[in-house]
Structure 1
């Protein structure tokens, strides 16, 4: 699981006051650059929702004003791929979760640039979000693309994908819902495969690794992995 030490963002971290809150993850990143700050100030009302805005699990139809397919992306990073995926799949209503402050602001910039309306961005820890803000059996898909690989052996315990985590994800998927994962780290891919396979309520949609989803564009982390000679491995597990 993720490191669960409780920390707070620094008072002078460059965020608007209401954007600072107690979180259960290591704080990442520094101040917002001018583009990111302008993006947050201009576009947060349209696309950003604070976890404290929700009184219980997210009501997707109320949040998006329609009945789309509810999807959760864990770790939207800097948001360029998130915006492209949402634009390419207008039938989904996507809640994108990211803990990296500049990533949240940069994602707002990309969402505005692409002009999508089917995304809401939340800055929240994945486990807390799944536990507190996502109702059981409510999601059509969960995406986890290129999470932090924690490549050093002594840090493997910090990797997000464990049997406990995959069981939590499975409990939030509706029957037939899909859990999609990707990584360029071989040992993490094998750990992901083992954890998902150990979850009795999930079945592998393929004999082993999955083909790359047509809607997923290359990310910055993927390109970096390929440049380093890594192999990209996708997984696709379906809720029984």
Structure 2
């Protein structure tokens, strides 16, 4: 018998960090207007048009780190709304300090957030350099696995894109296998995608390159 009250498997390490004065001030000033807290088990629908104060296509970015690349992408793409979700509080504060009017920030479990979104409500989902959980016993914690991908795909509009990137070769192959197996997704390329100019270089990516790891991008569309 399954336990319906069992805690969900986390795809992230809970992270805390000390904030400097700049970040603390940005958080105190901007969080009430631009931020939302995701509570475990909350299934109340999240109205994206109300959240952003306008009706526009929405891009969800899962795990934005310090937020520099998300802020740059959103600034270059003012016609779409960007919702970033992260658990690292200094990164959240940094993104708040950089955010334009088309950015909102969520703190908590990304998949709990996704469950509150309406089917077909997202234009794109970005998952750049998620935790690779390299040990085999931890693979069940990876973000890109069949159940999570099915949920993300359902939240995409037809033709919407799921764009992933990683610098771990084994995770890249696993991502490709999982995404290819989803019956509602089609690979936009033959295998891995060329690195898009629209994705700013992240610190994780820079570190991976310095350490000699190849960067793999995958772009799939909802059919």
Report the TM-score, using the length of structure 1 for normalisation: 0.83
Q: Where does structure 1 lack aligned partners over 5 or more consecutive residues?
A: 7-22
For each residue in 1:135-172, what CA deviation from the matched residue of structure 2 results, as whole angstroms up to 9, or x when unmatched? 11111101000101122333323211111111111111
Name the counterpart of 1:62: 50
Name the counterpart of 1:12: none
How far is 1:26 from its partner?
4.0
Name the counterpart of 2:185: 202
Relative to structure 1, is the Cα distance of residues 26 and 234 closer, same or farther in structure 2, using a 3 angstrom cutoff?
Answer: closer
1:27 to 14, 23, 29: 14
Report the aligned-residue RMSD.
2.0
Whole-Å separation in 2 of the counterparts to 1:190 and 1:25: 20
Aligned residues: 215
Q: Where does structure 2 lack aligned partners over 5 or more consecutive residues?
A: 1-5
Report the TM-score, using the length of structure 2 for normalisation: 0.89
For each residue in 1:82-119, what CA deviation from the matched residue of structure 2 results, as whole angstroms up to 9, or x when unmatched? 100100111111111001122111211222xxxx1101
Name the counterpart of 2:82: 94
For each residue in 1:177-201, what CA deviation from the matched residue of structure 2 results, as whole angstroms up to 9, or x when unmatched? 1100000111111111111111100
Contact 2:12 2:141 in 1 (8 A): no
Name the counterpart of 2:92: 104
Whole-Å separation in 2 of the counterparts to 1:218 and 1:36: 22
Alignment of 1:18-167 (within 5 A): 26-51=13-38, 56-111=44-99, 116-131=100-115, 133-167=116-150
SS at match of 1:170: helix
